[in-house]
Chains A and B, each alone.
Chain A
Amino acid sequence: MNTTSATTPDADLLRAMRNGAADAFSALYRRHQGPLYRFALLRCGSEATAADVVQEAFMGLLTERFRFDPLRGELAAFLFGVARNLILKLEEGRQRHVALPVLGVAQEDDDDAELDLPLDEGGPLARLLDNEAAEQVRRALAHLAPHYRDVVILYEMHELSYAEIADICQVDIGTVRSRLSRGRAALAKRLAGWRTAPHLAQA
């Protein structure tokens, strides 16, 4: 009997995985690694760190260091929450050990959604995407403060609901809505000049 078809629910795959079915674990990984990797990549700006986050999240699922309860929601949302926490932990460690550089423009005007601080080596300012329009949006996203970036990425890129994002980010729905609004506004502001530039038409 095939227990790992594309329609097999996550809960069934998890049960089979815990009973030792390697193909079930592999199916779970293949189903969720893409969105998780893309979230981590946009969130931290480093391919290597994003890969580490994905690996640690699934390793935690395997060892039950991160215990998923199917009664409390979907596995995808749970994994996003795990990835976000892992990234926050990495950022905390980095902030403890690295002196922050003095920035020429620490905050832009009155908008505290902006953060001109590369978070990773080679970080958000290193080019990741070939498409110019996509790369510009990614760079603008990387300049958002992390708590805005989380919400914008999860909403715009992963099409999660306010409630799911609230659960992942451990805030209430009103906070999700306001962070999304402010994050979008900050992005629009940063990209305003670029969007009206002649080269956009060619992107």
Chain B
Amino acid sequence: MDKQEPPDPLFDALRGEMAKLNAPRGVEKELMQAFARQLPPRRWYQKLAPGWALQRWALAGGLSTAVTALTVFSLMLHNPRLAVDPDARSRALVTRDGGGLFIALESPERIEQEPAPRVVETEVSRSSLAPLGVPLTPENAGDTVKAEMLLGADGQPLAVRLTSID
């Protein structure tokens, strides 16, 4: 270990004075504007990428198993391709965001690397989700749940977002 000399007391006054100084506020403002240009807010499916996914997965906690089953089932109803994919259920990654529900059907890495994702809006009838525990009353029996499906360039479903599920 290299022995270091003690700080010179000659600098005490300067240390005290300099400690009060900071960069002008305008610098932070300009940097944050540059940040917004450089890294615009991410779309919901981008937030399922590594890092985000792990944190949100932890938050999802005990809800995840039931919601996964619900979602895979509902997707099967509307997407026959998933029904023949036995791995879809185990791959699904479910997270909550406010009243919405995000379900990754492919790995976060696969979603992140998709060069040309597109989002297709659709609706799922609430009654079709009732067997899986979605509350169903006479008043909402005819309702539908809005969904946004993220598709890869080849049409493969990558993720889905259910809104107004509550």
Interface residues of A (CB under 8 A from B): 1, 3, 15-20, 22, 25-26, 29-30, 33-34, 36-38, 41-42, 47, 50-51, 54-55, 58-59, 62-63, 129-131, 133-135, 137-138, 141, 155-157, 159, 161-163, 173, 180, 184, 187-188, 191, 203
Contact = CB atoms under 8 A, between A and B. Distances in A.
A34 B59 CA distance: 35
Given A29-B28, A33-B27, A55-B30, A1 B21 contact: no
A157 B11 contact: yes
Q: Which 9 A-B pairs have the closest CB atoms?
A: A134-B17, A133-B13, A37-B23, A134-B13, A134-B14, A156-B11, A137-B14, A54-B23, A20-B39
Contacts of A191: 10
Contact of A19 (B26, B30, B49): B49
Contacts, number: 111
Interface string B27-60: 1101110111011111000100101100100010
A191 B21 CA distance: 24
B15 A41 contact: no
A20 B41 contact: yes
A25 B32 contact: yes
19 contacts: A3-B55, A19-B51, A20-B41, A20-B42, A29-B28, A33-B23, A34-B23, A38-B18, A63-B38, A129-B17, A129-B18, A133-B14, A134-B16, A137-B13, A137-B14, A141-B14, A157-B14, A161-B4, A188-B10
B31 A19 contact: no
Contacts of B154: none
Given A1-B55, A19-B51, A137-B13, A38 B2 contact: no
A66 B147 CA distance: 41
* Interface size class, chain B: 35 or more
A161 B1 CA distance: 11
Contacts of B24: 47, 51
Q: Pick the most buried of B4, B15, B18, B34: most chain A CB atoms within 10 A of its CB.
A: B18
Contact of A34 (B14, B21, B38, B46): B21
Q: Pick the most buried of B4, B23, B51: most chain A CB atoms within 10 A of its CB.
A: B23
A34 B23 CA distance: 6
Given A54-B27, A134-B17, A180-B5, 15 more contacts: A20-B40, A37-B23, A38-B19, A47-B24, A62-B38, A129-B14, A130-B17, A137-B14, A155-B7, A157-B14, A157-B15, A159-B7, A173-B2, A184-B10, A188-B10
B113 to A, nearest CB: 15
Contact of A62 (B21, B35, B49): B35
A43 B147 CA distance: 57
Given A134-B13, A156-B7, A59 B31 contact: yes
Q: Pick the most buried of A15, A18, A20: most chain B CB atoms within 10 A of its CB.
A: A20
A137 B34 contact: no
Contact of A138 (B14, B41, B46, B51): B14
Contact of A157 (B18, B26, B34, B49): B18
A19 B16 CA distance: 37
B22 A34 contact: yes
B55 to A, nearest CB: 5
Interface in B72-120: none
B53 to A, nearest CB: 11
